[in-house]
Amino acid sequence: MNAILEMRGISKTFPGVKALDNVNITVKAGEIHALVGENGAGKSTLMKVLSGVYPHGSYSGSIIYEGAERRFKGIADSEALGIIIIHQELALVPLLSIAENIFLGNEQAKYGVIDWSLAFSRTKELLKVVGLNESPETLVTNLGVGKQQLVEIAKALSKKVKLLILDEPTASLNEKDSDALLNLLLQFKAQGISSILISHKLNEISKVADAITVLRDGGTVETLDCRIEAVSEDRIIRGMVGRTMEDRYPKRDPKIGETIFQVENWSAYHPIHTHVQVVKDVSLNIRRGEIVGIAGLMGAGRTEFAMSLFGRSYGQNISGRVTLHGHEIDVSTVEKAVSNRIAYATEDRKTYGLVLAEDIRKNVTLANLEGVSKSFVIDDMQELAVANDYRARMRIRSPSVFQEAVNLSGGNQQKVVLSKWLFSDPEILILDEPTRGIDVGAKYEIYTIINRLADAGKGVLMISSEMPELLGMCDRIYVMNEGSLIAEFDIAEASQEKIMHAIVKSGRR
């Protein structure tokens, strides 16, 4: 098999940082090539070099694509040759239709006049290929994330793609949509389209990849060929972190006490469609020192439940009772919820968790400014001491606490969010997808932090779409589907199969 792409000796430096150091990668025609590595290993930078975001001359090394050395000056150059990149954050315009999005910048037009019937019919063909059953006129904003991802792929197909690059395509997809997407990649492979898949989900990689290149600290560690022998997840992790990771979940000896937190008959309705009940009569409890999970598919209502509980941050017409240590508490505003020692760390760090333009110090104290101030005046030095303390304890990697949050990696951002909530001194900590988009090493650290919290006698409620994570971390797991809790498992009896069965069974009702 010939190589469609060969990147040789690629090095790229930013002021003060060597992001890529002599990286080599060879992608054969018609294969699915996975690119793995911890956050900050250089995957995205490498793909930006390839697609021309960093133009020729700003890096050293050479790119050989379809047998000739290429010097891309911008994305337009690489796209013209069929190299299409789909970014983790989707680049669709929400208020335009599927067809308009697919042909954005590449309109089906003659002399500037768009031929809509041609655009629609071509869109229909493309949607059929990617298996999306929607009208071309549907607005993108009305689609779920999974379907939007398919629109992006259809857009790539419309440009006669030869090498498709997907950056974390399944990060926000549920299992079903992820599988559909991976199957699509396999289909493309059969048609001779090559792809580069960047993912943290190693099980998916071992499912579809033909070859795996591992990057670490800006350098190539190794390329594993899956056609010769099956590559295990542990093997990949060993390459990524430079050592074997015996256990992906830190050990913990749970010391569970009495029930401290109870939610009874919690209900909430959709903020716009007032008759749609999104959270249906949810009752649950958490005991001292316990980590309780909520499993479920995307859109099961878990985040909505958590946010409606946390100061009515979601929905309307909310009802139900919350008790902490046997006393009913008022959680009707975020401020009251926080002062009643509830904390909620969001699934969407950048939108809901951090003030990105501000530094670590200011983000850490944001939810508890009273803790570092006297009668409305902030004590700078006390604040600094608090921030330094959390930076050290949570092992936030940055030159100092004056680093702006926007410049931190996903794992470190998550640690800042957790620091913020720990500093508010909660009894009950609700963690919504605490490890989304975080690399393996940082995940382990986050798990360790969560375990420490439980050991300190707090109650932790953990929402996650990754079932192995829930099974590895929790003492008890609730299962949610369509807004209701449909099952509860003690960790001893829980398994991925049982949880899926519960969801499927309730869906059929």
Site for another protein in 254-293 (CB under 8 A): none
Min separation Cβ 260 and another protein, Å:
21
Q: Of 3-11, 86-94, 103-111, 379-387, which part binds another protein (CB under 8 A)?
A: 379-387
Max CA pair span of the chain: 74
328 binds another protein (CB under 8 A): no
387 binds another protein (CB under 8 A): no
Least Cα distance to 39 among 86, 83, 88, 92 occurs for: 88
125 binds another protein (CB under 8 A): no
Q: How many angstroms separate the CA atoms of 33 and 193, rounded?
A: 11
Q: Mark out the alpha helices in 42-167 (DSSP H runs).
A: 43-51, 75-80, 98-102, 116-130, 145-158
Site for another protein in 27-46 (CB under 8 A): 38
Give the x-and-dash track for 331-360 against another protein (CB under 8 A): --xxx-xxx----x-x----xxxxxxxx--
69 binds another protein (CB under 8 A): no
478 binds another protein (CB under 8 A): no
Looking at the Cβ atoms of 246 and 258, the one nearer to another protein is 246
At 463, which amino acid appears?
Answer: I
Site for another protein in 410-429 (CB under 8 A): 420, 424
397 binds another protein (CB under 8 A): yes
* Half-sphere exposure for 97 (CA within 13 Å, toward CB): 13
Min separation Cβ 92 and another protein, Å:
21
103 binds another protein (CB under 8 A): no
Q: Of 2-10, 167-175, 364-372, 455-463, which part binds another protein (CB under 8 A)?
A: 364-372
Min separation Cβ 66 and another protein, Å:
34
373 binds another protein (CB under 8 A): yes
318 binds another protein (CB under 8 A): no
* Residues ≥6 apart with Cβ < 8 Å to 428: 260, 261, 286, 324, 341, 342, 343, 458, 459, 460, 461
Looking at the Cβ atoms of 59 and 314, the one nearer to another protein is 314
Which of 104, 241, 298, 318 is the binder for another protein (CB under 8 A)?
241
Least Cα distance to 151 among 170, 131, 165, 167 occurs for: 131
Report yes or no: 485 and 284 within 8 Å, Cβ to Cβ.
Answer: yes
Q: Of 162-170, 387-395, 451-459, 463-471, which part binds another protein (CB under 8 A)?
A: 387-395
* Half-sphere exposure for 11 (CA within 13 Å, toward CB): 7
330 binds another protein (CB under 8 A): no
Which of 378, 448, 500, 506 is the binder for another protein (CB under 8 A)?
378
Q: By rule CB under 8 A, what count of residues binds another protein?
A: 48
Q: Is 296 helix (H, G, I), strand (E, B) or coil?
A: coil
399 binds another protein (CB under 8 A): yes
Q: How many angstroms separate the CA atoms of 495 and 202, rounded?
A: 19
Count of beta carbons in the 10 Å neighbourhood of residue 21? 16
234 binds another protein (CB under 8 A): no
Q: How far is CA 152 from CA 30, 87, 100, 147, 155, in A?
A: 20, 9, 12, 9, 5
Torsion sign (Cα): 379, 382, 388, 391: negative
Q: Is 462 helix (H, G, I), strand (E, B) or coil?
A: strand
Looking at the Cβ atoms of 287 and 452, the one nearer to another protein is 452
Looking at the Cβ atoms of 259 and 373, the one nearer to another protein is 373
402 binds another protein (CB under 8 A): yes
249 binds another protein (CB under 8 A): no
| Tokens coding 442 | 């940082």
| Tokens coding 352 | 């809901």
Q: Of 63-71, 119-127, 399-407, 491-499, which part binds another protein (CB under 8 A)?
A: 399-407
Residue 238 phi, psi (nearest 5): -60, -45
At 224, which amino acid appears?
Answer: L
Least Cα distance to 85 among 192, 195, 173 occurs for: 195
* Half-sphere exposure for 66 (CA within 13 Å, toward CB): 11
Looking at the Cβ atoms of 114 and 385, the one nearer to another protein is 385
Q: How far is CA 142 from CA 139, 178, 276, 406, in A?
A: 6, 19, 16, 29
452 binds another protein (CB under 8 A): no
Report yes or no: 185 and 32 within 8 Å, Cβ to Cβ.
Answer: yes
Beta-bridge partner residues of 311 = none
Looking at the Cβ atoms of 13 and 313, the one nearer to another protein is 313
Which of 369, 455, 488, 501 is the binder for another protein (CB under 8 A)?
369
Interface ranges with another protein (CB under 8 A): 38, 241-242, 310-311, 313, 333-335, 337-339, 344, 346, 351-358, 362, 366-367, 369-370, 373, 376-378, 380-381, 384-385, 391-393, 395, 397, 399-400, 402, 420, 424, 441, 444-445
